[in-house]
């Protein structure tokens, strides 16, 4: 009779321990936020001191498209007409290859609604370079680079 009580008691403890551990694990998984990476740089501007570009990319390359998001802000510095900052948000995709390097990694940032699609060549894990929609580098590419923050 005592053996039966011990077995039933052990089974109940195991069951309770399993129930107690379940929600805690689920809650910790849900509270994990996607990784965000920020890049900043100043692009040349004809009529001002430069265009400050701030890009934050959230998610990982392996994530589903809806989990790969970005926010981009372009600020005109000392522009005579003082235009407001341009803010875009949307999704980013990884493209492979450029005309000069078939293995190159290119990030395509497509804003929701209206706005220009941006293409950035990943030079290394700390540097992106703005390139044209045909994935070609500009002659002054070193002036079009963003650094990871």
Distance CA 85, CA 110 (A): 18
Alpha helices by DSSP H, the chain: 2-30
Query: What percent of the chain stands above pLDDT 70?
Result: 78
CA gap 69, 38 in Å, rounded: 12
Band (pLDDT 50/70/90 cuts) for residue 4 is very low
- Report yes or no: 56 and 36 within 8 Å, Cβ to Cβ: yes
Q: Which of 46, 116, 121 is nearest to 86 (CA)?
A: 116
Please tell me the predicted confidence (pLDDT) of residue 32.
64
Please name the residue that has the structure tokens 């007409």. 81
Measure the CA–CA gap between 142 and 128, rounded to whole angstroms: 10
Task: Assess contact for 132 and 110: CB atoms under 8 A.
Answer: no
20-33 mean pLDDT: 51
pLDDT in tens, 36-79: 999 999 999 999 999 999 999 999 999 999 999 999 999 999 99
What b/e sequence results for 96-123 when a residue is b if at least 16 CB atoms lie within 10 Å of its CB, and e otherwise?
eebeeeeebbbbebbbeeeeeebbbbee
């Amino acid at each position: 009779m005592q053996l039966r009580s011990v077995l039933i008691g052990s089974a109940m403890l195991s069951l309770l321990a399993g129930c107690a551990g379940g929600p805690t694990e689920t809650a910790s998984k849900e509270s994990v936020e996607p990784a965000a990476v920020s890049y900043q740089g100043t692009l040349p501007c004809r009529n001002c001191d430069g265009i400050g570009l701030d890009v934050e990319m959230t998610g990982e390359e392996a994530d589903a498209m809806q989990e790969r998001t970005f926010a981009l802000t372009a600020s005109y510095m000392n522009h005579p007409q003082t235009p407001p900052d341009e803010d875009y948000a949307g999704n980013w995709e990884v493209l492979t290859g450029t005309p000069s390097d078939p293995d190159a990694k290119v990030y395509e940032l497509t804003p929701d609604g209206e706005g220009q699609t941006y293409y950035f060549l990943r030079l290394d894990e700390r540097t992106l370079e703005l390139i044209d929609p045909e994935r070609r580098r500009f002659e002054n590419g070193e002036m079009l680079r963003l650094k990871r923050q």
